[in-house]
Structure 1
Amino acid sequence: MNQTPLQLLACASALVLAACAATPPTSASRTEAAVFTAVTSSVHRDGDDLLSGGLGLDGLRGMTAPAFADAQAPSAAELRRRALWSSWRGIADLRPQGGYGTLYGSLAAVPGREFQAFATVPGARHPHRVMLQLPDTFDAERRCVVVTASSGSRGIYGAIAVAGAWGLPQGCAVAYTDKGAGSDYFDLDAGMGVGVDGRVAGRDQLLAFDPGDAAPATGIAFKHAHSGDNPEADWGRHVRQAGEFALAMLNDALPDAARFTFDNTRFIAVGISNGGGAVLRAAEDGDWLDAVVAGEPNVQIDAPGARALYDYTTEAALLMPCALAALDGLPQSPLSALATTMRAPRCAALRKAGVLEGDDTATQARSALAALQGAGWTDEAIRAAALSVDFDLYRAVAVTYASAYGRFAAGAHPCGYTFAAQNPDFSPRATTAAERAGWWSDASGIPPGAGVGIIDPQLAPPDLTGAGLACLRALWTGDGGDARRVRAGVQQLASAPPRAGLPVVLVHGRDDGLIPIAFTSTPYASAARAAGRDVRLWEVRNAQHFDGFLALPDYAARYVPLLPYVYAALDRVQAHLDGQDALPADAVIDTRPGGTLDASALAIPTR
């Protein structure tokens, strides 16, 4: 769920269209064989490898994205290289002090082949992307596939720093899915979307996402919000289909080897954030999986302490800006000064609405803080939430997920939100050809970012975003038809325990302020164990949700990256599957942030 910074937006009128809810998937449909379309393959050697597109660690550390020779018409190869750059920088801590490539991980070139396609789960209106990366070092006698799902709403390369960077260097094939989200945006003004290879194309060609003729004539639509499929309900099936795609491509690519099946090929599933939630959903029907590692998973389960993402996100979006005014010494970002000016107006607006107590900002802030603490937010999560407030991530998530859960079409958001490119005064405008060309590589899958902004028709001072957020919150707490529709979508997300006997390791930062451990991993582990499942939990002190934001000096001084612990958990799981070690035990891991990371600073468990 890593996002790009929010810009303050101006008012715009929203177009409202009717939308119909699709039928939720049945349990029987989960086992139907996948059908793959638009299958493509490419070779990546001699300066263009699978892991970094030839950029290597130094190239990925570059502050400027790889350039396009023609900004309006980049080649597929240019788009791929830039997508890799964007995905690495959005997920991993690549600072020299962060230890990547020395303390953990490797970005040595991995030559090989890449296969991509569209796959559609039964009952879905739109496909999700699947991909297999097959390194030249793959050994058909040691059959290993790492299967993964993109973090957040990112495109098909959105887990390259998680699964690809662990699996490819040791000769495993890696299978990916964008799980029905991704950066396949559609320009409603131009009638253009994204084709198989990432290049912009018209409706006369095969597109990854087209909102249909009933969509508005202006603005931008994107798959996560506007597919009408509630993709999160199918995350487990998306991951399974990525595994099926891996088998199909291995059998085509290696015809002289014995046929690849789930029975004779090791499958380890790994993901972080939304990708972590996706692999846990796959674990429910995981007779095809050998092990699962889930980092900071967005997972929802019916258990004490658990809460739905939409619930705690909309709560935080409203209360957190005010509550932070009650705390000193908060982490600082480039947007902290701007965010601080919004605290008093939010506190006053919530007091006027009867949500908070007190006649001054300080008292109102303490009231908001107490409300969050009473709802289960820990002090560590609240402090780390300052980053999500600074960059307005809670609102970005809530706007998109309200559309997804309620299956609202483009232009039909119940709170009037739309999406568009913007003028300097933040009013909506048509997108340029160069902006469209970069979406597939640059976008995180949820606006704002990559030149696409959130248009809020209720935006007004002094509490600029407060009215829209109150509307979003009411979709969880209210009784209207739109609220019932959103909650019905959320009910389809409930996770079940993993398959009996399947090794599962959870890795979660105690300071996660976007997907708090108290609402997700802790209750999931407890419920799974109560059901007799083999689930282990590593709780990492001083780790928040975004390794990529450790590029900010104050965050680097306070927090450590989570990714090395995900890698370490994968190492331990693989050793367990090889019969060399026991499954790693539960651990609360002490860490030492700040300075140059070393093994003692990360304190990775040895057992």
Structure 2
Amino acid sequence: MQEIEFVQGEVCVTTHRDKDDLLSAGLGLAGLKGALSPFADPQHPTVQELRRRAIQAGWKGIADLGPLGGYGTVYGGVSAVPGREYQAFARNPGARAPHRVLVQVPDNFDKTHRCLVVTASSGSRGIYGAMALAGAWGLPHGCAVAYTDKGAGSGYFDFSDDSGVALDGQRAKRGTALLEFEPATQQGQGIAVKHAHSGDNPEANWGWHVLQAAQFGLAMLSRAFPDQAPFTAQNTKIIATGLSNGGGAVLQAAGLDDTHLLAGVVALEPNVHTSGHGRALYDYMSEAALWLPCALVDERFAATPFARDAHGAAHAAWVTRCASLHAQGLLKATTLDAQAKEAYEHLCGTGWTDQAMAAAALSTALDLWRVIGAAYACAYLRRGADNMPCGYHYEALVDGKPGVADDATRASWWADASGIPPGNGVGLFGGTDSSADPQLTGITGLRSLWTDDDADSRALHTSVQALSARLPRKDLPMWVLHGADDGLLPTAFTSEPYVAWLRAEGRTPLYWKVPHAQHFDAFLALPGFGDRHLPLLPYGYVALDRLWAHLFQGQPWPAELSAPAAGTARGEGALRKSMLGL
């Protein structure tokens, strides 16, 4: 039996067959598309109900399951895959908080082509946050799939009743069970979340999280099939894949893989930072929070989805931001049109493209820049829930105000929450004042953490430097795919400088900059938004298919491969296969 010394506590083993499979928890594609799976007793959901809902939320957060999106007809699918799950808490050396690892072993595991897919959740999602990519591709191929939440996840700790989340997803009091996350302080107020408040700067260890998940996967395969053990990287091909933060995590893992665990890597729209190349997420995120509202007032974005209100006018708050930037001396122009144009030109000068800004209207309208900035600044500065930068804090949201969560709301967090509030009954508070632009004070503070040179700024920069990806080995097959229209992680700041750096250092990654694709496949179901774009997932599935053919069928791995020339975006009708250019 292979040792798994990094595992804390017991490994939980569950069986999922009949109407409770690995890929959809028995919901099937129709159920995944439907309303959230109910809890019979919302205050006390069962372990099975929590898992089903967490899988459903994982799918809904990543894939376009809308009626026009083509999932299950044009590409992808959701078959019933019976099997077993092995789940545990793992810990990196020196880490304060554990991370979850989960391995799904299908009953139809292909013992002839021994394959393990390893992945990390996108965003800050929980353990099922990469199901629509890694699970949807790997399980039907007869691969086992190993997941990690990479030190993030939705195991929120509530100081009001001193409770967190146990391994099975249910709430438990501090001291009564091993919890996904419990703050170091014994006393506090509001809600603490692992990504922001663990004190570990987990992003710096995402690569190690992925490699530990791969090691856990091999060990669990040996448990599942003792007659075939041991499972090792020498007799089992390990494919690493992920998207967004998960994509960045597998690229980090590729640079740390000194023992040649990984046989190939497919990264979609990765949040990857290359020291000395591109721009760090915190840099362009805090810039976007400050400048994009005004830039999007520019007339060139008048027909851009989410860039105007329901009446076709510029959002009032964004107009106010232009005035605020002028009052701060950041804009010289005195008229609104000229201020918006000046803000737009400022962002062009720092590397933003028209495509990225147009798609970023969605993130701006959803207030994602401020939300992400508050959490990441806290993680980088290793602050607790009671000491977040710029006056921010998380509390339960009751009738629009800070309060105490009820049992039903609290019980649903692990299954439903995204890993970074606000949402699901938790609010982001603070960082505001009583001015006409109330969020400006907090956003300015977040930006100053990057641009200033005080102790906090230096600490934040040190943490960001620790995120830099390292060079992978020369013989590792790698494929990076990124939407040309990505407005959250623009290609100019992420994939393009990373791929250029690899090539300058003698590596030969494949790179597809996919026309018409943006960052959020799940938002393509929104009226007007999906008309302009294509999903990225089908291209990821194709890349994984080709990597499989290389690893198991001996097909040559190309030195380069041109991106598909997709003809048009989806338009108002349903997606057709011809639109993908594959």
Same fold per TM (> 0.5)? yes
Q: Indicate the SS of the match to 2:503.
A: helix
Contact persistence 1:94–1:100 (CA under 8 A): yes
Counterpart residue number, 2:563 = 587
The structural deviation recorded for 1:213 is 3.0
Contact persistence 1:335–1:391 (CA under 8 A): no
Contact persistence 2:431–2:441 (CA under 8 A): no
Matches within 5 A, 1:67-466: 67-203=38-174, 204-216=176-188, 218-286=189-257, 287-304=260-277, 306-326=278-298, 327-333=300-306, 336-337=309-310, 340-424=315-399, 426-466=400-440
Q: Indicate the SS of the match to 2:390.
A: coil
Q: Indicate the SS of the match to 1:566.
A: helix
The structural deviation recorded for 1:355 is 1.1
Matches within 5 A, 1:520-559: 520-559=494-533
CA deviation string 1:145-189 (max 9, x = no partner): 000000000000000001000000111000000000000100011
The structural deviation recorded for 1:579 is 1.2
Contact persistence 1:111–1:135 (CA under 8 A): yes
1:596/1:440 Cα in 2 relative to 1: closer, same or farther (>3 Å)? Answer: same
Counterpart residue number, 1:603 = 581
Contact persistence 1:38–1:196 (CA under 8 A): no
Alignment partners' CA distance in 2, 1:560 and 1:113:
34
RMSD: 1.7
Letter in 2 for 1:552: L
The structural deviation recorded for 1:125 is 0.5
Determine if the alignment matches structure 1 residue 497 to structure 2 residue 471. yes
Q: Indicate the SS of the match to 1:502.
A: coil
Letter in 2 for 1:431: A
Contact persistence 2:564–2:581 (CA under 8 A): no
Counterpart residue number, 2:25 = 53
Q: Indicate the SS of the match to 1:325.
A: coil
1:164/1:336 Cα in 2 relative to 1: closer, same or farther (>3 Å)? Answer: farther
Alignment partners' CA distance in 1, 2:148 and 2:450:
29
Letter in 2 for 1:520: T
Alignment partners' CA distance in 2, 1:330 and 1:517:
23
Q: Indicate the SS of the match to 2:543.
A: helix
Letter in 1 for 2:392: Y
The structural deviation recorded for 1:360 is 1.7
TM-score, normalised with respect to structure 1: 0.91
Q: Indicate the SS of the match to 1:479.
A: coil
Contact persistence 1:422–1:429 (CA under 8 A): yes
Alignment partners' CA distance in 2, 1:467 and 1:490:
23
Contact persistence 1:183–1:445 (CA under 8 A): yes
CA deviation string 1:297-346 (max 9, x = no partner): 00000244x00000000000000000000033343349944981211111
Contact persistence 1:406–1:488 (CA under 8 A): no
CA deviation string 1:523-547 (max 9, x = no partner): 0000001111121110111111000
TM-score, normalised with respect to structure 2: 0.95
Alignment partners' CA distance in 1, 2:10 and 2:303:
49
1:179/1:591 Cα in 2 relative to 1: closer, same or farther (>3 Å)? Answer: farther
Q: Indicate the larger mover: 180-189 or 325-334.
A: 325-334
1:241/1:537 Cα in 2 relative to 1: closer, same or farther (>3 Å)? Answer: same
The structural deviation recorded for 1:134 is 0.4
Counterpart residue number, 1:21 = none
The structural deviation recorded for 1:81 is 0.3
What percentage of residue pairs aligned between the two structures are identical?
A: 54
Letter in 1 for 2:462: A
Alignment partners' CA distance in 2, 1:118 and 1:369:
46
CA deviation string 1:345-369 (max 9, x = no partner): 1111111111112112111111110
Counterpart residue number, 1:22 = none
The structural deviation recorded for 1:410 is 1.2
Determine if the alignment matches structure 1 residue 573 to structure 2 residue 536. no
Contact persistence 2:164–2:172 (CA under 8 A): yes
Contact persistence 1:333–1:552 (CA under 8 A): no
Q: Indicate the SS of the match to 2:40.
A: coil
Contact persistence 2:68–2:525 (CA under 8 A): no
The structural deviation recorded for 1:485 is 1.4
Alignment partners' CA distance in 1, 2:9 and 2:580:
44
In structure 2, which of residues 537, 544, 562 is the aligned counterpart of residue 563 of structure 1? 537
Contact persistence 2:62–2:132 (CA under 8 A): yes
Alignment partners' CA distance in 2, 1:310 and 1:480:
17
Letter in 1 for 2:496: T
Q: Indicate the SS of the match to 2:164.
A: strand
Contact persistence 1:356–1:364 (CA under 8 A): yes
Q: Indicate the SS of the match to 2:76.
A: coil
Alignment partners' CA distance in 2, 1:313 and 1:37:
38
Q: Indicate the SS of the match to 1:497.
A: coil
Alignment partners' CA distance in 1, 2:471 and 2:527:
39
1:52/1:459 Cα in 2 relative to 1: closer, same or farther (>3 Å)? Answer: farther
Letter in 2 for 1:131: L
CA deviation string 1:395-428 (max 9, x = no partner): 111000000011111111121100012233x331
Q: Indicate the SS of the match to 1:145.
A: strand
CA deviation string 1:55-93 (max 9, x = no partner): 11111111x211101111100000000001111011001
The structural deviation recorded for 1:580 is 2.3
Letter in 1 for 2:46: S
CA deviation string 1:36-67 (max 9, x = no partner): 433101111011110000111111111x2111
The structural deviation recorded for 1:259 is 1.1
Structure 2: which 5+ residue stretches go unaligned? none
Contact persistence 1:335–1:390 (CA under 8 A): no
Counterpart residue number, 1:23 = none
Contact persistence 1:151–1:159 (CA under 8 A): yes
CA deviation string 1:112-166 (max 9, x = no partner): 1011000001110110000000000002232100000000000000000010000
Contact persistence 1:187–1:193 (CA under 8 A): yes
Alignment partners' CA distance in 1, 2:306 and 2:524:
10
Contact persistence 1:331–1:387 (CA under 8 A): no
Task: For CA contacts below 8 A with separation 6 or more, give which structure has more relative contact order.
Answer: 1
Q: Indicate the larger mover: 204-213 or 147-156.
A: 204-213
Alignment partners' CA distance in 2, 1:153 and 1:328:
30
Q: Indicate the SS of the match to 2:288.
A: helix
Counterpart residue number, 1:20 = none
1:238/1:416 Cα in 2 relative to 1: closer, same or farther (>3 Å)? Answer: same
The structural deviation recorded for 1:214 is 4.5
Contact persistence 1:86–1:442 (CA under 8 A): yes
Alignment partners' CA distance in 2, 1:418 and 1:437:
21
Letter in 1 for 2:409: E
Matches within 5 A, 1:470-485: 470-485=444-459
Runs of at least 4 residues of structure 1 off by over 6 A?
A: none
Letter in 1 for 2:10: A
Contact persistence 1:540–1:591 (CA under 8 A): no
Contact persistence 1:347–1:361 (CA under 8 A): yes
Instruction: Provide the aligned length of Structure 1 versus Structure 2.
Output: 570
